[in-house]
Amino acid sequence: MIIEKNTVVTLHYRLQEDDASGALVEETYGSEPLVFLFGAGQMLPEFESQLEGKKAGDAFAFGIKSADAYGEEDPDALVRLPLDTFMIDGKLAEDMLIVGNPIPMSDQHGNQLVGIVMEVGDDGVLIDFNHPMAGQDLFFSVTIETVREATPEEVSHGHVHGEGGHDHDD
């Protein structure tokens, strides 16, 4: 069976920065594989386009330019927030305000965001809301383990159930 919309794909991958000689970002070889419903919008569109038509046993590599991955770094995503934003029970949460620390936050619409502390000063805290991989070209080495047809329930729920997927009672 080939990878196409509404198939469940199980694969191993190695993700590196830039190209095959780039720094290792993460990999699944030697651990649990990635299992996902192809065409459900869970993966980067360019990642899926590279997989389409492949089958179990295929091993290949490809690059994705930053613009087609997590986008370029957006200078507007660097935001200086007042120190009082980080007050908890009347005290400044200094343990959170460490450069490089990720802080879960939400915007005015309730959307969940993670910002990285870039600098802390008397005039506030500079937070970077760019995706951690923004501005980074990606290079994937992939081995397709299995491809199967998704169940009607998986398609309607938009994710994989069972082994490697999501279990729920509904």
Residues 6 or more apart from 105 whose CB is under 8 A from it? 112, 113, 114, 115, 127
pLDDT, average across residues 6-33:
97
Q: Give pLDDT tens digits for 139-163.
A: 999 999 999 999 999 999 989 987 6
Per DSSP, 58 falls in state -
Predicted confidence at residue 162, as pLDDT, reads 72
pLDDT, average across residues 59-72:
96
Q: Give pLDDT tens digits for 28-55.
A: 999 999 999 999 999 999 999 999 999 9
Q: Name the region of 68 (left: φ>0; alpha: ψ -120 to 50; beta: rest).
A: alpha
Of 163, 158, 132, residue with least CA distance to 146: 163
The neighbouring-strand residues paired with 15 are 26, 140
The two three-digit tokens of residue 158, written as one number: 């938009």
Of 7, 24, 27, residue with least CA distance to 16: 24
| pLDDT of 165 above 60 | no
CB-count exposure of residue 76 (10 Å: 0-12, 13-18, 19+): exposed
**Domains with residue ranges and CATH for the chain:** 7-70+133-157 (3.10.50.40), 75-128 (2.40.10.330)
The model's pTM: 0.80
